[in-house]
Structure 1
Amino acid sequence: MSSEFRNFLELSYEELEELNLQAKDQRKKRVAPGIIQEERLKYLTDEKTIKAVTVVFSDLEGRLHMLDYDKKFLVKSYDNLTFDGSSIRGFTAQRESDLRLAIDWAAFYWVPADVFGAGKVLVFGEVIDKNGEFYSGDIRGVLKNFSNEMFDTNGWTLNAANEIEGFLFEGVDAERSFHETGSFEYVNSGGYYHSLPGDPLREFIDTTAEVQRAMGFENEKDHPEVAPSQFEINYTYGDVVTAADQIQLYKLICRQVATQMGMTASFLPKPVTGVNGSGMHTNVSITKNGKNLFWDPKGEEKISKMAWAFTDRILTAGTDLCLVMNASVNAYRRLDPHFEAPNQIKASATDRGSMVRIPIGNEKSSRVEVRSVGPDANPYMVLYAIFKTGLQGETAKIKNLRQADRYLPDNVYTAIDDFRKAPWTSSLFGDDVKGRYADLKQASADRCPRLLGTIVKAPEVQFHHDVYNQLLWGKF
């Protein structure tokens, strides 16, 4: 169709970055929500070239959902946006299906027109139940409440930075056609740090990094990873809710850029056997009045007693939380010690097979790194579980806890069983949400061969929570 008569918002990447960094700074400074709401509504009203607002939210498994609202409608009806919760896996039953979306105006993004379409902006939504409270199945809201509670009570800011690995494969929708093709085709076989300028993987990484930069990610470095056709694009840390939002946007951007290039960005933890899998190493720290509470130049490995106590609680709950951090059948292929897998329930400064690593740091960067997280996990659930466990969980009376001979489950069935039995997961999520999450994982697992074997099976891809659709789910 001709664009001759259209005049929709299209900003340069430089303008986008400036606007998004300003919005990010408001979040960081905790500007009052009412002030930001008034500012955003005025902007939407005054900016005539915006046609639609994309509102995004995540389901219980971490799958991102997107709804486009006409700009004029949203400005008038932002406080009464309803949707059918029974259509979202893990949300309400059909008999109690009505849920509302509130707008988190601080989580507002200006998006590149060449990637998301002209005339659009994006904002994160908050799922509200019929009583007007945060919906218990919306873990983003649960995480946000916990983060606010820690700040209001203790003055603590919870920080996170995630290193998210993925694969780039030939063809659009390569995952959804895997049950027919039985294989993934690499676009590059160079390996770690090796990708020549102009090859498909390098072009994908460069384009994705440009989009992230424009959306205020504050990039740090990017490179091909160890496995063929594998990538990692790093950006700076942020407060815990912003960090989780950026994980969702990172994967969305990667998938969209790959699709426009005729390829597929995959975040399956182990799409190809025989090579390294993909992880989402999760770095966490806590600050108060700008001071890093995990830093102690005189402490063991130069981290504080608070950081070690935090680590000990994570190790104690290692098997309880394994299903949260490794959320699919395919994830248990990654927990293989032959490929640098972090499957040992240990803490170490050097051993990359340990579940928790203590990286070299300084007063600014000192942190704890949880390495056992898969890139397909629900980021809100992961970060909530890590911080609440690290701050409020129990510490096991196990001799030499940090180096004990203990391992994470090597299959999803054991992980589901551990999750269901653990009192701590009930404390984290409540029995209702805990049961729904475990049932979702069980339903996918039951459609797959019980033994992993040496080749990736079609069902573990087809019924994966990031891949399936109604049509694929019905092909059983």
Structure 2
Amino acid sequence: MLGTLKSVAVAPAELEGAFSEGIGFDGSSIDGFARVYEADMLLRPDASTFQVLPWRGENPGTARMFADILLPNGSPSLADPRDVLRRALTKAGDLGFTFYTHPEIEFYLFEKELRRDRPVPVDSAGFFDHVPHGTAHDFRRAAITMLENMGISVEFSHHEGGPGQNEIDLRYADALSMADNIQTFKAVVKEVALEQGYFASFMAKPMAGEPGSGMHTHLSLFEGDTNAFHEPGAPYQLSRTGRHFIAGLLRYAPEFTAITNQYVNSYKRLWGGAEAPAHICWGHNNRSAMVRVPMYKPSKGQSTRVEVRSLDAAANPYLAYSVLLCAGLKGIEDELDLPPEAEDDVWNLTERERRAMGIEPLPASLDEAIRTMEESDFVAEVLGEHVFDFVLRNKRAEWAAYRDQVTEFEIKQDLRRL
């Protein structure tokens, strides 16, 4: 449920039975799936996700499929994150919408060995830098080739702002396919890194003083072939539906932040500057805002969209896209009013100025995010009781373990002084 990829190998001769009957496994051995007395569960592969794995080049080759998780009676498991997203997409479909996403995924590439328990970036390049014969350049080319070979389209790639930091943007797709693609993307990036003698990390803030790794995601709703966010002549060509959708994102942002930013470390990125959004506001081309309306192209109404900038690369995409979609749909259903846009760099405003403008902060820590989420009927409804309770238990345990640590900062700051 935290987005960690699990797998089981199946021989080709057993595949027919896997489709017809499912593959039995002990659900109680996977944290968050089932209690001991509910242990028997089934995996049923989703044939539409079949792809040969390019990095498993032996003959005969190896392929992969994502699987749905079922109870013995064949009903969907309440613990399946793919089914959480599928339920959210069904709700959108009932309202006449198809939900598309387009993520910009950032990550760091490090030397294989730590130095003094610290990661060592593979280069010291910066934003958009082209380094001749650069490790990151060759790495991105190899990773993109592998992704394209698996049918995952890549739109852009470049070096990001931090040393060893890279970004690869996936071409838009329906949200369930994209969530599967993100999971595949992470596996491919890590495989290519290992092949080249490095390791890749999607940790939100792996190095102090350097930019964190986000997963800015562009969202759009379509009604058939029509972009529901597009209205010619409206400000930024953004329709009433689009404005209500953004209002829903802003209204429920504090409640779903524990899902989109699920680790203690996530809040080091959100509150660490470097264009990470820490306040609940929206703006046109304002990169300090949590929600941005990208510059529109007058000749391309289909490209009207909104960008959520608070997600980090460590989020579980199935759960994250579920809460974002449902928050936007609530905004549409309840016709929520969109507050005035933030035109200034929100980070450079004083706290008093932000309050005067009605701009509230996102949770400042995992603890605060948990406390806000546990009071949320909205998130409980989207995730379902089982997933909701597990995430809260898991995150409370993480916060308790973190709170118990004595950090290097405290030792340096206080050991000899006090």
- TM category (shorter chain) comes to 0.7 to 0.9
Structure 2 counterpart of 1:233, one-letter code: I
Structure 2 counterpart of 1:219, one-letter code: V
d(CA) in 1 for partners of 2:315, 2:334: 25
Structure 2 counterpart of 1:388, one-letter code: C
Deviation at 1:432, TM superposition (A): 2.8
Does 2:390 correspond to 1:436? yes
Equivalent residue of 1:318, what SS?
helix
Contact in 2 for aligned 1:312/1:402 (Cα 8 Å): no
Q: 1:105 to 1:86 in 2, by over 3 A?
A: same
Residues 194-249 of structure 1, C-alpha deviations (whole Å, 9 max, x = no match): 13232221121111011011111222111110111000111210011001111101
What number of residue pairs does the alignment pair up? 391
Residues 91-146 of structure 1, C-alpha deviations (whole Å, 9 max, x = no match): 11122111101121112212214569851111110011233211111121121233
Q: How does 1:306-455 map to 2 (within 5 A)?
A: 306-336=241-271, 338-361=273-296, 362-392=300-330, 400=339, 403=342, 404-449=358-403
- Aligned counterpart, 2:30: 88
- Aligned counterpart, 1:18: none
Deviation at 1:338, TM superposition (A): 2.6
Structure 2 counterpart of 1:166, one-letter code: F
Does 2:98 correspond to 1:163? no
d(CA) in 2 for partners of 1:452, 1:351: 38
Identity level (%): 29
d(CA) in 1 for partners of 2:390, 2:178: 25
RMSD: 2.4
Residues 262-313 of structure 1, C-alpha deviations (whole Å, 9 max, x = no match): 2111000000010110000111101122111111122222111101100001
d(CA) in 1 for partners of 2:308, 2:368: 20
Contact in 2 for aligned 1:136/1:433 (Cα 8 Å): yes
d(CA) in 2 for partners of 1:342, 1:330: 15
Q: 1:117 to 1:334 in 2, by over 3 A?
A: farther
Contact in 1 for aligned 2:22/2:45 (Cα 8 Å): no
Structure 2 counterpart of 1:445, one-letter code: W
1:227 counterpart (162, 179, 186): 162
TM-score, length of structure 2 as denominator length = 0.88
Does 2:39 correspond to 1:104? no
Contact in 2 for aligned 1:168/1:263 (Cα 8 Å): yes
d(CA) in 2 for partners of 1:207, 1:69: 28
- Aligned counterpart, 2:353: none
Q: 1:116 to 1:301 in 2, by over 3 A?
A: farther
Residues 314-349 of structure 1, C-alpha deviations (whole Å, 9 max, x = no match): 100111011011000110000125311111100111
Equivalent residue of 1:69, what SS?
coil
Structure 2 counterpart of 1:146, one-letter code: A
Structure 2 counterpart of 1:425, one-letter code: V
Contact in 1 for aligned 2:283/2:292 (Cα 8 Å): yes
Structure 1 counterpart of 2:383, one-letter code: F
